[in-house]
Amino acid sequence: MSETMLAALTNIRTAEDMIVAFRDEEQCRRLLESMVWPAGRICPACGYKRSIAIAGRDTSKRRARPGRYQCSSGDCRFQFTVTTHTPLHSTKLPYECLAEWHVADAAVG
């Protein structure tokens, strides 16, 4: 986890601190990614350690959203996000809520 992300988490003491730490979607996504992939992105399907960001690219019917990646393994090419293969995978909640849940869950146990 990067030093700035670690500092953001360790400084959370109140609800207001949490609002500041999770101020927008981009910040929350980066925070979740640093918690889930502290050593860099890993494909959840095959474990390959290289992937490409496909955000903003046309994917058949619409443009891919930020935080969407594709495995670079020639055999896999799996598309994933930080919530893939987690209980939060199919949720439509914004990243702000997901980050707050992850931090609260880590604090409890």
Each residue's pLDDT tens digit, 41-66: 999 999 999 999 887 655 556 666 78
Which tens digit of pLDDT belongs to each residue from 8-31?
677 777 767 777 777 777 877 887
Cα 79 to the chain's mean position, in Å? Answer: 14
Domain chopping of the chain, boundaries: 1-37+92-109, 40-81
Asked if residue 83 lies in contact with residue 98, where contact means CB atoms within 8 angstroms, the answer is yes
